[in-house]
Structure 1
Amino acid sequence: MVHTCVVAGCRNRRTPGTALSFYRFPRDPERKQRWIAAVNRKGWVPNEGSRLCSTHFISGKQVKNPRSPDYVPSVFTSATLSPNIKEANAFEPYDKQEAQVEAANALLFLQGQGRFNEGHSHNQCQGEPESTSSCLNSDDERKDAEGTEEIVSESENESNEEEPPRNSFTKSVIYEAKVNALRKENMKLKESLEKMSLTEASFKNDPEKVQFYTGLPNYFVFETVMWLLVPHMKGDKNAKLSNFQQLLLTLMRLRLDLRNQDLAYRFGVKVSTVTRTVHRIINIMFTTLVPTAVFWPSRVELRKNLPEAVKCTHPDCAVIIDCFTVSLEKAVSIDTHRQGARAIREVNTSSPQPAFISELKYVIGVAPQGAVMFVSRGAPGNVSDKTLVESCGFLHKLLPGDVVLAERDFEIKDLVGAHRAELTITSSELHETDRSNQNPRDEASLAATERMNVYRHVERVIQMVKKRYSMLTGPVESAFTVVDRSTNVTTFDKMVQVACALNNLCISAVPLD
């Protein structure tokens, strides 16, 4: 059966191959009455064969939800209007044109290109005969005090209707000005949107943006990291984010310590997608980037580019050592974090009850130039520094004659000495510097000043590594403290290693005074 839309003026019909849908009037009395009122056919009542086509709904189909705008048809642009409505609407374009013409005349007048009212009236009188007679009549009757304003307004209306060339010129001026204004506004909106967006194009020529969101110095380094990871990122066929977005999201998690819900809003995905992406990219970076970026260089390479402040006082300096702790968002059982076997045995022997940890402790070794050389796995925060250094494998990296600098005493001088190396505490040297500065002309004061420079350098190197990626300051979410069975390493331990590897990619050897 062929159905035709019942809306007046709508010629849509159900024919073979058409994509339109035709709906019968609802059975609900209230909704049916609202449909009849929307159709607006006086005295008309629908029957069983009456149909309404889908073009009269905003979304192209009816919706049975009363809160939806398509619960009742509302699009009737093709409907035939009544004569009274047509007559009223016919004057709207004319009024708009008049307003545009007046605005254009005012603009041209201000620019020195407009015409005065007298010249405007004179041009009107040079038009067609009807216009001329109206002008003459208006001149004769202008002497009469009554009806003056009415006649002049009639003359102006007639002249406006009879001068299409001038109207078309002013219209073109107005339209051109509007188009130029819209173009400028569009360009400004595009620029502002580009700055706010997290697209690849917005990062390419904006090193400050790259550094703020990722911690990397420029887009070239970011692109290099992505180039290393892309061959290992092809396995996930259901990834809703591009390779660029996956890496950017993970670096923003490390750099700014943004919560997963925040990142989900920024990238338009679910929280579960953010969590899965962070874990996946961290695993890839841990296996590919960390081994190539975090390593203990040879003694020759260490001494080749040794900073002057360190070279003068400690030419055999091999590493700067420090310990830092990170708090946990929620205390976890010691069994769920099996890192640092000797440290855990120490905790278990001292406490018969099941141990819980509220923070993690790490040993970090930094080259004098600022590159991270060694990072331990996380151990319970109540483990002593000496026990952690002894069990993490740091001592096995030392060679005879190496000098280890530290801000404070770790009580490991005997452990370092057992490997025929030397531990120097820069804070004690600082006190000696203060005493030597009492005689500024003495040679000892110059050496003391150099030791102070060493102390400040060590302090800056350690703080740089800690503060570059905010996530390392904690607190750590419980989801990142679970041990990965395949590698026996927690996700947060991997994050610490990855953050140190990214730090080594930055062109940022700490400057000396």
Structure 2
Amino acid sequence: MIQTKPGKQRKLTMKEEFVKTMLKLRLGVDNTTLSVLFNVSIGYVSNLFSTWINFLAQILDPVIKWPDASTWSNYKSHNTFKALVAIQPNGAFTFVSKFWSGNVSDRKITVDSKYIDLISPGDEVMADRGFQIRDLLTLKGAYLNMPPFTNERRNGRGRVLTSKQIIESRKIASLRIHVERAIRRLKSFNMLGGILPLKMKNLSSAMLRVAAAFCNLMPPLSKKFK
């Protein structure tokens, strides 16, 4: 007599379920196409994706590690979301916030996401000029490193950087390249890089963490910082 496990039998193997999930997350394949490819219903595809994304977000969470040392960090005609991410010089994501509404300020996200709580005295954070968080970092004994502002020329014609500022700006630019490359990696997951269906709003933050974790499993963006 053959005994079978109680409960509903799986329509797909775990490997097939994982592949289906990555096809949707990475390539943005729609539910209708996936239902045909795997010979299952559209509803089954949708429920399976939700289950796997939440599962992967939990088991892959340790891949996004906060380091012990220094770290750096309606024109689209759509409802927008944004998140705060922190990246090491080698391109690895060390912090990923949840998604916030696009009209929320960068400062509010930085505070409410508890990012500041992770900062230690002596840490140096690199950020764009729009991040008005110098006072928050100063209270933690940390430093904000951002591109220098230009100075007005003595003759009043145009603006210019000092020699020291030029050197500082070049140094920041060399590190900023890795930030931009890391963000491109994240956006290569098509479900995050394009227009996200509103019905998937509740999964968006989990999808972001899963994608960031998979990015961290890729080779470092800079061999200088491993």
Gaps of 5+ in 2: 152-159
Amino acid at match of 1:249: K
1:277 aligned to 2:48?
Answer: yes
In structure 2, how many angstroms separate the alpha carbons of the residues matched to 1:446 and 1:404? 18
1:498 aligned residue (200, 210, 214): 210
After TM superposition, list the pairs within 5 Å mapping 1:206-217 onto structure 2.
none
Contact 1:366 1:462 in 2 (8 A): no
Q: Deviations over 1:55-76 (max 9, x none)?
A: xxxxxxxxxxxxxxxxxxxxxx
Q: Secondary structure at the match of 1:251?
A: helix
2:96 paired residue number: 375
1:364 paired residue number: 85
1:9 paired residue number: none
In structure 2, how many angstroms separate the alpha carbons of the residues matched to 1:458 and 1:370? 6
Contact 1:361 1:379 in 2 (8 A): yes
Larger helix share, 1 or 2: 1
Contact 2:71 2:86 in 1 (8 A): no
C-alpha displacement of 1:319: 2.3
**Over aligned residues, Cα RMSD in angstroms?**
3.0
1:474 aligned to 2:186?
Answer: no
After TM superposition, list the pairs within 5 Å mapping 1:73-472 onto structure 2.
237-290=8-61, 292-299=62-69, 317-320=70-73, 358-425=79-146, 427-428=147-148, 435=161, 449-465=170-186, 467-472=187-192
Contact 2:106 2:130 in 1 (8 A): no
In structure 2, how many angstroms separate the alpha carbons of the residues matched to 1:360 and 1:235? 42
Q: Percent identity?
A: 27
In structure 2, how many angstroms separate the alpha carbons of the residues matched to 1:376 and 1:280? 21
Instruction: Say if 1:238 and 1:276 are closer, same or farther in 2 by CA, change over 3 A.
Output: farther
Instruction: Say if 1:280 and 1:445 are closer, same or farther in 2 by CA, change over 3 A.
Output: closer
Instruction: Say if 1:430 and 1:473 are closer, same or farther in 2 by CA, change over 3 A.
Output: farther
Amino acid at match of 1:506: M
Greater RCO, 1 or 2 (C-alpha within 8 Å, sep 6+): 2
Q: Deviations over 1:230-266 (max 9, x none)?
A: xxxx997432111111101111111111111121122
1:508 aligned residue (205, 215, 220): 220
In structure 1, how many angstroms separate the alpha carbons of the residues matched to 2:37 and 2:127? 41
Contact 1:429 1:448 in 2 (8 A): no
Contact 1:328 1:478 in 2 (8 A): no
Number of residue equivalences: 211
| Bigger Rg over Cα | 1
Contact 1:460 1:510 in 2 (8 A): no
In structure 2, how many angstroms separate the alpha carbons of the residues matched to 1:430 and 1:269? 59
Contact 1:430 1:448 in 2 (8 A): no
Gaps of 5+ in 1: 1-233, 300-316, 330-357, 438-442, 482-489
Contact 2:28 2:190 in 1 (8 A): yes
